[in-house]
Amino acid sequence: MDSSSGPRRRRRARRPRRRALFSLALALITVGCGTTAGTMYMTSPAHSPTAGAVSSSATRAADREEAVGSAAEAAVDRDALLAAAMASVDVAEGAEVSVAVLDPDSGETASGGGGAFDTASIVKVDILAALLLQAQDAGRTLTAEEKTYATAMIENSDNDSASALWRTIGTADGLDAANERFGLTGTAGGDGPLWGLTQTTAADQLTLLRQVFTATGSELTEASRTYVRELMERVAAGQRWGVSAAADGTAWALKNGWLRRSTTGLWVINSIGRVTAGGHGYLVAVLSRGSATQEDGIALAEAAARAAVSVFTGDGAVDPAVQSSS
């Protein structure tokens, strides 16, 4: 088991909106979009004033309003496209999934599902990021012992190493303080030693991945970002499933989480990371719960990751035969 379950955490996030977002976005395609998929990919139409027309403040204001409206429509279309892609994903009765994807170059995102989920072991990326931020603040590098723990925690998902670093950063208080600086707004550390019951959202996981994989606005130094990325690129062979299913080759960096809840016997299966598809990098976060088996949860997470990336590549589901999953 990825991490042990225990008493529920002291802070509960809002219950998730289940599949309503997917249904709403599908409706937007039919009612609000009325265009081809190719049209949905555009950003904002260029304004072409009539020849000889005199520029005025009213014209400029209209142009700005049109550009803002077009950009908002494009953002809605991304979510609608994801909803359409997710419609073909088999979500078992009682299971829930939330997914989000970011194109770091354009800043465009798409998301579906909502609410807060138990992190299980994906929180280990957050723990390491918090540790590195604290070390930066203290003007020091990680100790040899901390590096040993970090390697085992990310590459092998070692729980004892995670517990040791959880205590080092100050448990939930330390994680929450770091996340406030990282810009995470829907994540709260688990009670006491229960780091695996930290609550998070797919949107927050994209924010965390942006801190690790992009320089713009990151609180982490280039050295810190490189360190986390390299560990995520070397996860153990048996853990190379999840968002890697959306990659078109072996270019990925990820961390997975899996947890069978003792109260229900159902599985939490999560996956976060960066994948390369069509020669372009995407940040992807998939959170799920309620799968009857671990295998079912993995299949759901991988299908959701492929659907998310297809919103930008337009390729649909990637052939599982070319994946690095195990």
pLDDT in tens, 49-81: 333 333 444 555 556 555 545 544 544 488 999
And the tokens for 250?
């072996």
pLDDT of residue 66: 59
d(CA 39, CA 42) in angstroms, rounded, equals 6
Contact 267, 258 (CB under 8 A): yes
pLDDT of residue 64: 53
Contact 25, 80 (CB under 8 A): yes
Domain limits of the chain? 19-44+55-87, 92-322
d(CA 161, CA 152) in angstroms, rounded, equals 6
pLDDT of residue 321: 37
Spans of the chain, pLDDT less than 70: 1-76, 315-326
Q: In what order do the strands lie in the sheet with 267-277?
A: 109-112, 96-102, 280-291, 267-277, 252-260
pTM over 0.85: no
pLDDT of residue 318: 41
- Which class in CATH covers the domain with range 92-322? alpha beta
d(CA 225, CA 213) in angstroms, rounded, equals 7
Nearest to 101 by CA among 24, 247, 249, 202: 202
